[in-house]
A and B are shown apart, each in its own frame.
Chain A
């Protein structure tokens, strides 16, 4: 399945309860996500796109755009 940045942004808005997110926003610094929030976002991406993200890839995620990279790297 292909992913778009819009889909990822919607997913992040849902997980974090935010009205607005931008691709360059940093999940922790700009959006206030804690470690569990980031993992929940990644698990949602795994469910939506049917992929598996390993711990090392997860550790490199900083921005919303990086999340799209997780899907693109695997499809």
Chain B
């Protein structure tokens, strides 16, 4: 049978069906070394789609998928689409309370969890507050019996999945990404990153998030190339490096902090042979010059680490430095992310107008792969556009005389926490809920350590003379636990401060940057504004 050229795929479902019909015995990927063929994956997808159909899922329904890297993720994620639904992949570390909130946001009736135990916890929490009628299920629940295979047709402009991001107001916003958006952006990235069918991919990036999902798993399926997928484990990056070496991988990708973890955790880089790598993409958080230089020196590779830039609001990829060319670093240490992909235009906007060369402004993006906008959020959608077709990214940057772009910062109050972008307000809402806290402000503070930016929280507590040091400790510990259980990480530092410490604008908005300055220059301590702890 002649191989179907990737250019002719019009939906992800068609792409996976083609792969399963033409090369059923070929591995779609291996997970931790165990191969899963296109045939097996396709059967799993259909089985789960059939199961969803029996649960009453029909065209356009949202289904939340909370599954870490594993074969089950793909059965669930594509099974939802096969059944005509829209997948909503979320961070598996979210607590049941957060998942219930998302279920309300996107009106999802079904949550697909990794295990029956996890599924049980989700429903238990929902039953408590009355109104929720969320059903939870797992791919194991799909029966092995006869399948109807009678599913709605999937069209190119159907939404394939919702990618939630932290928006500028802190409420999570779901970007609605269509099949056409995904296939277009994949083609853009394939050209820009010079990816071929001979590339060998290794990835441990989370499959429920854009770079790990689209670039590192959809592109391999699209081209039918080899993909070696690992569990996400930041405690031990050696598995990642070993997989690159063992599989003679040519392409891997990670945020900057992951490469810093390699420098921290690997005592003897000379034990690893990464010479097969053509490209180690560095994206999804600010790219540091030092990381690139130290990683390439330690692991004896050259011009392999490739800075790139993208965001969910543009599907994922926007631009990349051309692979294997010497990089460009400006006087402030910013590393260029190169030129936009074909079909993508970038404009630096200053005071509402295009900025001149070298001037810093907000990056606006026009792309053939531009999603329609956020789900059920008219205010955010209205604020998303600079002018028709040009989306405001919230990132600040400039372009040099040669047309190369540099990212220099963010306009929004967001924090890069272990590769995830978290809006400060998500953290602040949780911190505010702790007893005796009036309100809290979260900042990303980078102490120059390899782990990069950490979350620092400044919580104003009620003026109550009966609150003793022991109570202060209790407030801090309670806050750590709440953030850990809801968001899956612990803050770098929590300060309890006196009332009226946190600077506000006249209309009551927190001034994050002003607070940052007061903390870093020692003013808070000098004015005795910090109650606890004493360091």
Does residue B473 face the partner (Cβ distance < 8 Å to A)?
Answer: yes
**Per-position contact with B for A11-46: 1 when CB-CB < 8 Å, else 0?**
101111111000000001000001111011001100
Assuming the A-B contacts A14-B533, A48-B535, A55-B264, are A36 and B473 also in contact, with contact meaning beta carbons closer than 8 angstroms in the complex? no
Q: Given the complex, which residues of B lie within 8 Å of A34, measured CB to CB?
A: 234-235, 489
CB within 8 Å of B: which A3-17 residues? 10-11, 13-17
Q: Is the CB of A35 within 8 A of B481?
A: no
- Establish whether residues A36 and B535, one from each chain, have CB atoms under 8 Å apart when the complex forms: no
Report yes or no: B451 in contact with A35, Cβ–Cβ below 8 A. Answer: yes
Of residues 354 through 394 on chain B, the ones whose CB sits less than 8 Å from some CB of chain A are none
Is B124 located at the chain interface by the 8 A CB criterion? no
Chain A: which residue is nearest B418 at the CB level?
A36
B509 CB-CB contact with A under 8 Å: no
B480 touches A17 (CB 8 A): yes
**Cross-chain contact A43 with B449 (CB below 8 angstroms):** yes
Q: Nearest chain-A residue to B535 (Cβ)?
A: A48
Interface residues of B (CB under 8 A from A): 234-235, 261, 264-265, 267, 418, 447, 449-451, 454, 473, 476-481, 484, 489-494, 533-535
Contact A17 B484 (CB under 8 A): yes
Q: Tell me the bound Cα distance from A68 to B379 in angstroms.
A: 52
Partner of B476, one of A14, A28, A37, A55: A14
Q: Is the CB of A43 within 8 A of B492?
A: yes
**A35-B535 in contact (CB<8A):** no
10 A-B pairs closest in CB distance: A17-B480, A48-B535, A17-B481, A47-B535, A40-B492, A36-B451, A17-B477, A39-B451, A14-B476, A39-B449
Known: A13-B477, A14-B477, A15-B480. A35 touches B490 (CB 8 A): no
Q: Is the CB of B493 within 8 A of A44?
A: yes
- The verdict on A35 contacting B493 (CB below 8 Å), with A13-B473, A17-B484 known, is no
Residues of A within 8 A of B235 (CB): 28, 34-35
Q: How far is the CA of A55 from the CA of B449 in the complex (A)?
A: 9
Which positions in A face B, CB cutoff 8 Å? Answer: 10-11, 13-19, 28, 34-37, 39-40, 43-44, 47-48, 55, 59
Please, which residue of chain A has its CB at the minimum distance from the CB of B449?
A39
Report the Cα distance A47→B476, complex, angstroms. Answer: 17
Which residue of chain A has its CB nearest to the CB of B484? A17
Q: Are B534's CB and A14's CB within 8 A?
A: no
Considering the complex, give the chain B residue whose CB is closest to the CB of A14: B476
Q: Which residues of B contact A35 (CB under 8 A)?
A: 234-235, 261, 264-265, 451
Across-interface contacts of B261 in A (CB, < 8 A)? 35
CB distance from A50 to the nearest CB of B (A): 9
Give CA–CA (A15, B491) in the complex, Å: 8
Other A-B pairs beyond A15-B490, A17-B476, A28-B235, 14, CB < 8 Å: A14-B477, A16-B480, A34-B489, A35-B234, A36-B489, A40-B491, A40-B493, A43-B447, A43-B492, A43-B493, A44-B493, A47-B535, A48-B534, A59-B267
Docked-complex contact A14 and B480, CB < 8 angstroms: yes
CB atoms of B492 and A18 under 8 A apart: no
Tell me whether A17 and B473 are in contact in the complex, defined as CB-CB below 8 angstroms, given that A36-B418, A48-B534 are known contacts: no
Is B535 within 8 A of A44, CB to CB? yes
In the bound complex, CA of A34 to CA of B449 (Å): 15
Instruction: Give chain A residues whose Cβ lies under 8 Å from the Cβ of B267.
Output: 59
Q: How far is the CB of B502 from chain A (nearest CB, A)?
A: 20
Distance of A40 Cα from B493 Cα, bound (Å): 7
With most chain B CB atoms within 10 A of its CB, the pick from A15, A16, A44 is A15
A39 to B234, CA, bound (A): 14
A14 partner residues in chain B, CB cutoff 8 A: 473, 476-477, 480, 494, 533
The distance in angstroms between the C-alpha atoms of A55 and B321, with both chains bound, is 31
* A16 / chain B contacts, CB cutoff of 8 Å: 480, 490
- For the complex formed, measure the closest distance between the CB of B10 and the CB atoms of chain A, giving whole angstroms: 42
Cα separation A36 to B261 with both chains bound (whole Å): 10
Distance, CA A40 to CA B418, complexed state (A): 13
For residue A47, which residues in chain B have a CB less than 8 angstroms away from its CB?
A: 535
Q: How far is the CA of A14 from the CA of B502 in the complex (A)?
A: 22
Q: Which residue of A17, A28, A40, A43 has the most chain B CB atoms within 10 A of its CB atom?
A: A17
CB<8 Å pairs between A and B, sample of 29: A10-B473, A11-B533, A13-B477, A14-B480, A14-B494, A15-B480, A17-B476, A17-B478, A28-B235, A35-B234, A35-B235, A35-B261, A35-B264, A36-B418, A36-B451, A36-B492, A39-B450, A40-B451, A40-B454, A40-B490, A40-B492, A43-B447, A43-B449, A43-B492, A44-B533, A44-B535, A48-B533, A48-B534, A55-B450
